[in-house]
Chain A
Amino acid sequence: MLIRSTSGPADVRPAEITPRPLFEERRRFLLRSGLGIAAGAALWQGLGGTARAASERLATIASPLSTTEAMTERKAVTSYNNFYEFGTDKGDPAQNAGRMLTRPWTVAVEGLAGKPRRFDIDELLKLAPLEERIYRLRCVEGWSMVIPWVGFPLAALLKAVEPLGSAKYVEFLSHYDPEIMLRRPVLQWPYAEGLRLDEALHPLTILAVGLYGEVLPNQNGAPIRLVVPWKYGFKSIKSITTIRLTERQPATSWRRAAPHEYGFYANVNPEVSHPRWSQATERRIGEIRKRPTLMFNGYAEQVASLYQGMDLRTYY
């Protein structure tokens, strides 16, 4: 008897999908050998085409704002997380965040805006072309990663609601559901973060919906999170439900918990040390020896002008 394959012609056999390690290896090789962003992007999209059968793949365009540094292994990016709502150990979010449903999901964009409204997540995914942004991420705890995010500029969303002249800050709130999340008041829930409006509109500031070319895993802040690469990681709030334009500087979770340790700005700054950790050096995940931390996490050229005339020791 003949054993018939049940897969239709459109299906891609698993063997045709480039295995992830190989794919990552190739990608890293490409970046290292400096073939250029354009060639990289072409291959990236080519690969995206091959692997489309693996449902969660996102089509992206490359960005000149990406770094060419070696990326942190996907496994580390998705297993070593600070997402306190799902537990305070680094491995907890990967264990527990699967409980969170990311559909249906809406993000309310409200406050001092001409056209405030609620966006459906699928609408947000189409708001602007999705870009791959390979950014350094520096955690206040002294470790760092290089992550290929998929997202779009926050500015695109803010412009859609037409901020009023009186809007000076942007407040962000995370999803909080006590049924599936930590109930102990380790921090004040829901998690809250904030940016100055000019920081929020900066081209480096993105809303991420994916990483490594795929839909964002829950532990990394699905379905949509902030990424502000020149600030310590805790500023990049996860699983956003509310974005509010305000006149006053919003209260933020870590600052509420320990105002002498976590400032509103939280710009990466090797010269201003945290009471618990020196910020002069960092350990890149996957490496043994520490490396020097760069001012504004290496994005000084793009963002230093935002803070001209400010004493960064006072506004830490």
Chain B
Amino acid sequence: MPNFLRAPSGTQIALVKATVFLACLVPAAQLALGWQNDTLGANPIETITRASGEWTLRLLLITLAVSPLRRYTGLHWLIRLRRMLGLFAFAYAAAHFTTYVWLDQFFDWQAIARDILDRPFITVGFAAFVLLIPLAATSSNAAIRRLGGRRWQSLHRSIYAIAILAVAHFWWLVKADLLKPFIYALILAALLGLRAWWREQERRRQLSVPPPAKHLERPVIRIVQK
């Protein structure tokens, strides 16, 4: 593996970050331009709702894929992209929700409340969005310090529940063709399954008496797993 991939310099990482940042803006820019130029098809509001929803889900899954990727490729610096990816997931969720509240329902709060209460797909989508808010709010280094690593981590584990709610939201809103939500469900199952598998391995390792040298390494390994 080339050295810059294994241990990129600060500048190289900044460059990668800037690229990922811009890439994450592309779908939003496309929608904004499409709206402006009226190229989003016959039902532009539906197009925006669906695209922003699907990108939220994709970004959630990409965020969840960072740890496994890092673990299996040995590219430890990938972790430094994770916060940005998670925040973009939140940004797209916020855009998705705003589209719904503004363009779709036009601030008809009664209709919105009824939707959230009566329609299971909206209920779980809303739950996923609400649960994302504390994660976005505690994404800064200062927040991690304030909460302490352990509490911060257990709070941020709710991302697993959020991802499950998000897939359920997609599953329930589809009329008949479950192919897409099924594919997302499979990807999520793989990402969650890996965590369960790691946990099981860790439990076994702890049961067998570990050699002292490994023992010293354990805190490092822990962080890798999250």
Residues of A at the B interface (CB closer than 8 Å) are 73, 75-76, 79-80, 84, 88, 90-91, 141, 143, 184, 186-187, 254, 257-258, 273, 275-278, 280-281, 283, 285-286, 288-290
Contacts of A286 on B, CB cut-off 8 Å?
Answer: 42
Closest Cβ–Cβ distance, residue A89 to chain B (whole Å)? 9
Number of interface residues of B (CB under 8 A): 21
Query: What are 27 residue pairs bridging A and B, where the CB atoms are less than 8 Å apart in the complex?
Result: A75-B42, A79-B42, A80-B41, A80-B43, A84-B176, A88-B176, A90-B42, A91-B41, A141-B175, A143-B43, A143-B46, A184-B179, A186-B176, A186-B177, A187-B176, A254-B176, A258-B176, A275-B119, A276-B121, A276-B172, A276-B173, A278-B114, A278-B115, A278-B118, A280-B111, A283-B45, A286-B42
Contacts of B173 on A, CB cut-off 8 Å?
Answer: 276
Do residues A278 and B41 form an inter-chain contact, with CB atoms below 8 A? no
SS of B interface (majority): helix
Q: How far is the CA of A277 from the CA of B175 in the complex (A)?
A: 11
Contacts of A76 on B, CB cut-off 8 Å?
Answer: 42
Contacts of B176 on A, CB cut-off 8 Å?
Answer: 84, 88, 186-187, 254, 257-258
Q: How far is the CA of A273 from the CA of B117 in the complex (A)?
A: 13
User: Cβ of B77 < 8 Å from any Cβ of A?
Assistant: no
Q: How far is the CA of A79 from the CA of B47 in the complex (A)?
A: 14
Residues of B at the A interface (CB closer than 8 Å) are 41-43, 45-46, 103, 105-106, 111, 114-115, 118-121, 172-173, 175-177, 179
Closest Cβ–Cβ distance, residue B190 to chain A (whole Å)? 22
Contacts of A143 on B, CB cut-off 8 Å?
Answer: 43, 46
Contacts of A257 on B, CB cut-off 8 Å?
Answer: 176
Known interface pairs A88-B177, A186-B176, A290-B106. Does A278 touch B43 (Cβ–Cβ under 8 Å)? no
Do residues A288 and B45 form an inter-chain contact, with CB atoms below 8 A? yes
Known interface pairs A88-B177, A186-B177, A290-B106. Does A285 touch B115 (Cβ–Cβ under 8 Å)? no
Contacts of B120 on A, CB cut-off 8 Å?
Answer: 275
